[in-house]
């Protein structure tokens, strides 16, 4: 079995679990440098996605699952992260729309399109202390791994690892996008909640991929 | 936390139900949640939609009515609404002349309104957006999410609303809204923090003798935290950056808005108004129009903001035009 | 104490100066201190004067204008004005048809207005007085200074103002004011205390989970101190004594006023309005007119009061008549 | 020298001193069962009276001095006590208007008219926990003393003594007039500030009378 629709469904289920498990942590991170709702927002979103998953037809492709995630997050999350994650999944889904199953190149295409979607909407660069600080290292590591011949699951694992490292790098940064940017130097020493949730979601992707 | 609520998660829905019962001149859609003029869509008139997190009342729902907004979209407390209700409100008020979105400059609001605009566009409704960013407290806007939209939003909504009411087309209404935004500056101060119902604790804490200069309307940090000063000194401290920013100059005619953050008594707002008006007079600036009251609040925060809008003849006429909303009424 | 003031003793004078600068449609006399309509005295019209301690804004100064009061006399914070400014205001608004004093039932207010009325009488001005005492929280009014005048005062001023504006003579205006008072009942609740500027500390203290049911607008004790409850339960608790007192009955048409005490966010007042309107509906009482907002405050007190006025056709027409004041405007 | 204009002036000066000395005490008493302004109110009033004393013509009678006190208190004190004390001095002054000097009967007439003035305006009875609980015992004691042949100064001294005892009796009472009435049982154990100030003013009258 490859990274097919069953995997995509499994990823969504695992994402909902992970977000719920880390809800309080994400809220706390967001309270420190934002407005304390990031965990609440994502949890509301993924709970809604989960509820809609059963409505998908049996013949749905991975891209259809990802598109459902996109539209549901957009219409339920609100705040900054709703449209950003929504666009990420939407653009990523479009990049793999025709695939019945994702190979390493498709995974890279998905991640790249997702990251580009976030940048398109949010205009953040690496170093701005946003979720981009997790997404971009993940994309870079994934494409390097794919080029050296890794399979889809391994590419996701490398991406998750890079996203986690990327999230850690936000500790030292002053924010230049999002609410944390008003804090100036006071944001230093705190981890960006969106970067942390990005790493959690990619880790969920990798875990479900290696179990497939 | 002492709040006059039932379940924190029901606050916005119950307040909407209250508005519906209190204001028969409004139409309330509960799901998706938005507030519209009873006579919307007004055929041939540009529709005006604003919205954002709740907790800033009367902004925006209190400003729906003839001469101002056609619809307001309330998100959860301090959280931007999603695109769905924004889209629904946009469709509900489109009278064929297109719709203007008036959006306060917060990443969440901007992105969700943007998405709604895209979706409306896909349905054949012309949408233009104006981003309000009047808060001069944010200094290095290149290195931040940019200046925030605060109480100047009320003046953008009032004046653009009058332009739409007199029959301006979408581009013209958008241009007027943009002109108001370009000529309005604000800055606020907090004496205490508000409490978001679902958070249950103050958004930030100030010591018994501390105030935050340049506070945002969600309690975002400002320029500095200082010891409490006499009202006149505080007014001087926040009026200066406003005047320097545009800059305003002698001979200008302005609207002066002294806006309460929710928990400051009106008698104190008038004390602040007095000083602000005096300082403007001394600078040769004429306070041609005045507003004093709670217009853009931050729940029960104690504090206030000053907003100064530089007028020209057209803006003055539009400001004076009749308005009939729950929170702002004159003329006719 | 965190207040937006300069010297506590200057608060009222500075706020008056602010009102003067903000409201060109008003005339402010500084010494003796009162606020009057610019066109006062209106020849042939009965003049309406109210007043009392400051700290309840917009009451009374915010209700001066066509269709409501001719003048308001602000005393020091929470302290009745002396007869001199009341007399001066009475003379300033007498257009030959006599003057009605609208007085909240506090010993100080009653006595000082009484003295002013005697002095005006000695100068040949006919004065009649109506004492407002709508607060049902005071149970044994035979054994107290009597029921207090609270937010129902706004409705007395509005409706008597409309009667004067349509040309009723002094006795008729006084009779209308008395009829409103006879048909209006209120009760309030405090979540926190306000702080009188010259006192510098809260007027009373409530524990973190306590509220005072039946609070007076100067922080006078009410019926009981209980643990914080959901908004709906609090509304039920203070609406019942109001309805039982008159009594209101099925088929009645009423004005429902949900009045903020100063420090409660508008979104919460609408939550309370929703419940109060629902309960009235269930009792077969029609909420024919609604008001939600800060109309009779107690500085920055968190809390609210409910006021219910039983309408008849004449009172409804007078309520609907145009009014143009700083804090209440409609019609025309 | 009897209780002439010089005495009346001395009484006013001493009253202003006493009120100022006891201002904080009166504020504290009023804070406990009222709104905490009684000391402030009276101090404002007597300061104003003092400032106007010099404007009186040399030929002024005691009644003229007392009338000046009345009108000045009325126009400067506000609250409940302003009109009440104002009426007391006004009616008292009228009762002794023609006298160049007050004998024992005139003192009784003054006190009686003053007390009746307070009752006329405030409608309080003995036992309602108001200044009447000081005034009425003072009137009763004064007229008894005058009937047994005491002089004016002695009558005032007896009146002051009775007012002080009367003020003390308010401790045990529930209030039925004024702001304290809203407190119900909670007012018990607190002394009425207006009764205390009445005793202070009558003591000032007695002290200056015995020094005349
Ligand atoms: N312009 C942006 N580009 C990329 N990510 C952003 C941007 N603005 C905010 N974010 C991300 O969004 C996260 C906050 O999301 P959330 O708390 O759900 O929304 P809000 O800030 O509206 O409350 C931040 O931690 C950050 O990672
Ligand atoms: N109806 C009344 N009759 C007699 N004395 C009264 C009455 N009401 C109040 N008082 C007196 O007035 C005093 C309070 O005066 P003050 O504090 O100056 O006025 P306010 O109560 O308006 O703040 C009370 O202690 C009481 O002695
Ligand atoms: Mg957030
Ligand atoms: Mg948010
Ligand atoms: Mg008082
Ligand atoms: Mg008092």
- Give the domain CATH number at B260: 3.30.1180.20
Residue of C nearest to B7 (CA): C230
Chain D residues 143-182 with a CB less than 8 Å from chain C: 174-179, 181-182
User: Could you say which of C183, C218, C247 is where a domain stops?
Assistant: C183
Ligand closest to Cα of D81 equals 2
- Structure confidence at residue C200 (pLDDT): 82
C-alpha D66/C-alpha D46 separation (Å) is 12
Distance, CA D37 to ligand 5 centroid (Å)?
A: 5
Same domain for B218 and B103: no
Same domain for C179 and C225: no
CATH number at residue B155: 3.40.50.10440
Residue B317 within any structural domain of the chain: no
Residue B103 within any structural domain of the chain: yes
Average pLDDT over residues D7-35: 95
Distance, CA D79 to ligand 6 centroid (Å)?
A: 7
Is A117 close to ligand 1, i.e. is its CB under 6 Å away? no
- Chain C positions touching B303 (Cβ under 8 A) are 4
Same domain for B234 and B132: no
Give the model's confidence band at D159: pLDDT under 50 very low, under 70 low, under 90 confident, else very high.
Answer: very high
- For the cut 60, the answer to whether the pLDDT of residue B224 exceeds it is yes
Q: Is the peptide bond before B199 cis (omega within 30 degrees of 0)?
A: no
Q: Tell which one of A38, A41, A123, A167 to mutate to probe ligand 1, the residue whose CB is within 8 A of the most ligand atoms.
A: A38
Average pLDDT over residues B70-91: 96
- Closest residue by CA, ligand 1 atom 18: A38
Is A164 close to ligand 1, i.e. is its CB under 6 Å away? no
- Structure confidence at residue B308 (pLDDT): 98
DSSP class of residue C231 equals H
User: Which residues, in sequence order, are CB contacts of C206 under 8 Å at separation 6+?
Assistant: C190, C191, C192, C193, C212, C225
C-alpha D142/C-alpha D112 separation (Å) is 9
Same domain for B120 and B201: no
Unique residue bearing structure tokens 């104002």 = D86
- Closest residue by CA, ligand 1 atom 15: A81
Average pLDDT over residues D165-190: 94
- Closest residue by CA, ligand 1 atom 8: A178
Same domain for C154 and C285: no
Is residue C30 annotated as a catalytic residue, yes or no? no
Residue D197 structure tokens: 């100030």
Q: Which of C299, C256, C252 lies closest to C277 in space, CA to CA? A: C256
Tell me whether A34 touches chain B (CB under 8 Å). Answer: no
C91: number of Cβ within 10 Å? 18
Residue C29 burial (C-beta neighbours within 10 Å; 0-12, 13-18, 19+): middle
Same domain for C89 and C206: no
Sign of the dihedral through C-alpha C40, C41, C46, C52: positive
Determine the distance in angstroms separating the CA of B290 from the nearest CA of chain A, rounded to an integer. 30
Is residue B218 annotated as a catalytic residue, yes or no? yes
DSSP class of residue D176 equals -
Determine the distance in angstroms separating the CA of C179 from the nearest CA of chain D, rounded to an integer. 25
The minimum-distance atom of ligand 2 relative to the CA of D33 is: 25
Structural domains for chain D: 5-211 (1.25.40.340)
Is A190 close to ligand 1, i.e. is its CB under 6 Å away? no
Name the residue among C81, C199, C221 with its Cβ closest to that of D182. C221
- Structure confidence at residue B91 (pLDDT): 98
Q: Which of C20, C22, C45, C21 lies closest to C30 in space, CA to CA? A: C20
Q: Mind listing the pLDDT tens digit for each residue in A131-172? A: 999 999 999 999 999 999 999 999 999 999 999 999 999 999
Residue pair B203/B226 in contact (Cβ under 8 Å)? The answer is: no
Residue B200 within any structural domain of the chain: yes
- Chain A positions touching B75 (Cβ under 8 A) are 78
- Chain A positions touching B135 (Cβ under 8 A) are none
Which domain range does residue C262 map to?
Answer: 184-310
- Chain D positions touching C218 (Cβ under 8 A) are 35, 179
Q: What is the DSSP string of A58-106?
A: TT--HHHHHHHHHHHHHHHT-TTHHHHHHHHHHHHHHHTTT-SEE-HHH
Q: What is the CA radius of gyration of chain C?
A: 19
Neighbouring chains of C at 3+ CB pairs within 8 Å?
B, D
- Structure confidence at residue B139 (pLDDT): 78
* Strand ranges of the sheet holding C184-190, from the earlier edge strand across to the other edge: C224-227, C210-213, C184-190, C303-310, C253-260, C286-293
Residue pair B105/B132 in contact (Cβ under 8 Å)? The answer is: yes
- Structure confidence at residue A211 (pLDDT): 87
C-alpha D41/C-alpha A182 separation (Å) is 49
Same domain for B176 and B193: no
Same domain for B162 and B225: no
- Closest residue by CA, ligand 1 atom 27: A194
Residue B316 within any structural domain of the chain: no
Give the model's confidence band at D17: pLDDT under 50 very low, under 70 low, under 90 confident, else very high.
Answer: very high
- Chain A positions touching B83 (Cβ under 8 A) are 74-75, 83
C-alpha D122/C-alpha C114 separation (Å) is 11
List the single best residue of C31, C105, C144 to mutate versus D (max D Cβ within 10 A).
Answer: C144
- Structure confidence at residue A200 (pLDDT): 98
Lowest mean pLDDT among B100-114, B213-227, B259-273, C121-135: B213-227
Sign of the dihedral through C-alpha D159, D163, D169, D170: positive
Lowest mean pLDDT among A9-13, A31-35, A85-89, A105-109: A31-35
User: Which residues, in sequence order, are CB contacts of C89 under 8 Å at separation 6+?
Assistant: C29, C32, C34, C36, C49, C51, C71, C72, C73
Is A196 close to ligand 1, i.e. is its CB under 6 Å away? no
Q: CB–CB of A186 and B221 under 8 A?
A: yes
User: Which residues, in sequence order, are CB contacts of C71 under 8 Å at separation 6+?
Assistant: C34, C35, C36, C37, C40, C47, C48, C49, C50, C51, C64, C89, C90, C92, C93
Same domain for B218 and B283: yes
Same domain for C204 and C174: no
Q: Mind listing the pLDDT tens digit for each residue in B291-328? A: 999 999 999 999 999 999 999 999 999 999 999 999 99
Q: Tell which one of D29, D32, D38 to mutate to probe ligand 2, the residue whose CB is within 8 A of the most ligand atoms.
A: D38
Tens of pLDDT along chain C (332 residues) come to: 899 999 999 999 999 999 999 999 999 999 999 999 999 999 999 999 999 999 999 999 999 999 999 999 999 999 999 999 999 999 999 999 999 999 999 999 999 999 999 999 999 999 999 999 999 998 776 778 889 999 999 999 999 999 999 999 999 999 999 999 999 999 999 999 999 988 888 888 899 999 999 999 999 888 899 999 999 999 999 999 999 999 899 999 999 999 999 999 999 999 999 999 999 999 999 999 999 999 999 999 999 999 999 999 999 999 999 999 999 999 97
- Chain C positions touching D76 (Cβ under 8 A) are 82
C-alpha D71/C-alpha D85 separation (Å) is 10
Q: Mind listing the pLDDT tens digit for each residue in B136-179? A: 998 776 778 889 999 999 999 999 999 999 999 999 999 999 99
Determine the distance in angstroms separating the CA of B158 from the nearest CA of chain C, rounded to an integer. 17
> Residues with beta carbon inside 6 Å of ligand 2?
C 107-108; D 30, 34-35, 37-38, 41, 79-81, 84, 118, 122-124, 130-132, 177-179, 192-195
Q: CB–CB of A83 and B145 under 8 A?
A: no
Residue pair A67/A89 in contact (Cβ under 8 Å)? The answer is: yes
- Chain C positions touching D83 (Cβ under 8 A) are 83, 108, 111-112, 114-115
Residue C124 within any structural domain of the chain: yes
- Give the containing element (helix H, strand E) for D201: helix D193-211
Name the residue among B15, B191, B271 with its Cβ closest to that of C267. B15
- For the cut 70, the answer to whether the pLDDT of residue B214 exceeds it is yes
Same domain for C154 and C58: yes
Determine the distance in angstroms separating the CA of C81 from the nearest CA of chain D, rounded to an integer. 5
Name the residue among C79, C138, C216 with its Cβ closest to that of D78. C79
Q: Which residue has the higher pLDDT, B229 or C221?
A: B229
- For the cut 80, the answer to whether the pLDDT of residue A92 exceeds it is yes
Average pLDDT over residues B206-230: 94
Q: What is the DSSP string of A22-50?
A: THHHHHHHHHHHS-S-HHHHHHHHHHHHH
C-alpha C57/C-alpha C251 separation (Å) is 34
Residue B52 within any structural domain of the chain: yes
User: Could you say which of C165, C183, C201 is where a domain stops?
Assistant: C183
Residue B324 within any structural domain of the chain: no
Determine the distance in angstroms separating the CA of B165 from the nearest CA of chain A, rounded to an integer. 31
C-alpha D147/C-alpha D113 separation (Å) is 17
Q: Mind listing the pLDDT tens digit for each residue in D94-116? A: 999 999 999 999 999 999 999 99
Number of domains in chain B: 2
Ligand closest to Cα of C79 equals 5
- Closest residue by CA, ligand 2 atom 1: D122
Residue pair C276/C305 in contact (Cβ under 8 Å)? The answer is: no
- Structure confidence at residue B141 (pLDDT): 67
Residue B125 structure tokens: 């409704």
C-alpha D169/C-alpha D128 separation (Å) is 11
Q: CB–CB of D75 and C82 under 8 A?
A: yes
Q: Mind listing the pLDDT tens digit for each residue in B11-58? A: 999 999 999 999 999 999 999 999 999 999 999 999 999 999 999 999
User: Could you say which of C183, C208, C229 is where a domain stops?
Assistant: C183
Tell me the average pLDDT of chain D: 96
Residue pair B48/B164 in contact (Cβ under 8 Å)? The answer is: yes
Q: CB–CB of C231 and B6 under 8 A?
A: yes
| Phi/psi at C34 (5° precision) | -155, 165
- Structure confidence at residue D1 (pLDDT): 52
User: Which residues, in sequence order, are CB contacts of B251 under 8 Å at separation 6+?
Assistant: B284, B285, B286
Q: What is the DSSP string of D98-155?
A: T-SEE-HHHHHHHHHHHHHHHHHHH---TTSSSTHHHHHHHHHHHHHHHHTT--HHHH
Unique residue bearing structure tokens 């059963």 = A54
Average pLDDT over residues A27-37: 90
Same domain for C87 and C72: yes
Residue B148 within any structural domain of the chain: yes
Ligand closest to Cα of D194 equals 2
């Amino acid at each position: 079995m490859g990274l097919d629709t069953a995997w995509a469904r499994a990823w969504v289920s695992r994402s909902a679990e992970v977000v719920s498990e880390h809800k309080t942590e994400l809220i706390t991170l967001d309270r420190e440098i934002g407005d304390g709702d990031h965990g609440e927002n994502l949890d509301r979103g993924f709970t809604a996605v989960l509820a809609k998953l059963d409505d998908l037809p049996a013949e749905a492709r991975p891209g259809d699952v990802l598109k459902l995630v996109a539209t549901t997050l957009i219409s339920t999350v609100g705040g900054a992260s709703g449209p950003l994650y929504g666009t990420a999944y939407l653009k990523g889904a479009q990049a793999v729309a025709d695939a019945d199953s994702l190979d390493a190149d498709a995974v890279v295409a998905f991640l790249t399109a997702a990251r580009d979607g976030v940048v398109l909407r949010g205009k953040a660069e690496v170093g701005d202390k946003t979720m981009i600080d997790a997404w971009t290292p993940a994309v870079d590591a994934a494409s390097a791994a794919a080029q050296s011949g890794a399979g889809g699951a391994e590419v996701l694992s490398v991406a998750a690892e890079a996203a986690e490292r990327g999230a850690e790098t936000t500790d030292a940064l002053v924010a230049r996008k999002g609410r944390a940017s008003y804090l100036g130097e006071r944001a230093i020493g705190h981890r960006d909640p969106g970067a942390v949730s990005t790493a959690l979601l990619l880790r969920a992707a990798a875990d479900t991929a290696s179990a497939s | 936390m002492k709040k006059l609520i039932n379940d924190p998660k029901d606050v916005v829905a119950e307040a909407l139900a209250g508005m519906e019962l209190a204001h028969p001149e409004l139409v309330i859609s509960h799901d998706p949640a938005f507030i519209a003029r009873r006579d919307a869509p007004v055929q041939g008139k540009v529709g005006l939609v604003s919205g954002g997190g709740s907790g800033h009342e009367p902004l925006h729902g209190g400003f729906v009515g003839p001469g101002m907004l056609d619809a307001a979209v309330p998100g959860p407390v301090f959280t931007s609404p999603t695109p769905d209700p924004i889209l629904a409100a946009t469709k509900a008020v489109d009278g064929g002349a297109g719709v203007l979105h008036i959006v306060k400059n917060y990443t969440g609001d901007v992105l969700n309104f943007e998405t709604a605009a895209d979706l409306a566009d896909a349905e054949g409704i012309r949408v233009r957006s104006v981003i309000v960013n009047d808060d001069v407290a944010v200094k290095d806007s290149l290195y931040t999410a940019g200046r925030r939209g605060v109480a100047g939003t009320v003046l953008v909504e009032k004046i653009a609303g009058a332009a739409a009411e007199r029959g301006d087309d979408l581009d013209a209404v958008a241009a007027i809204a943009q002109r108001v935004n370009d000529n309005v500056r604000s800055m606020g101060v907090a004496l205490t923090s508000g409490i978001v119902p679902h958070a249950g604790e103050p958004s930030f804490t100030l010591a018994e003798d501390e105030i935050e200069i340049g506070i945002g309307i969600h309690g975002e940090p400002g320029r500095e935290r200082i010891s409490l000063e006499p009202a006149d000194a505080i007014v001087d401290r926040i009026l200066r950056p406003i005047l320097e920013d545009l800059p305003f100059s002698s001979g200008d005619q302005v609207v002066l808005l002294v806006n309460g953050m929710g928990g400051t008594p009106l008698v104190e707002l008038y004390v602040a108004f007095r000083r602000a008006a005096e300082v403007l007079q001394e600078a040769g600036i004429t306070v041609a129009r005045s507003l004093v009251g709670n217009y853009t609040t931050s729940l029960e925060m104690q504090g206030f903001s000053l907003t100064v809008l530089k007028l020209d003849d057209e803006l003055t006429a539009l400001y004076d035009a009749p308005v009939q909303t729950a929170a702002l009424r004159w003329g006719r």
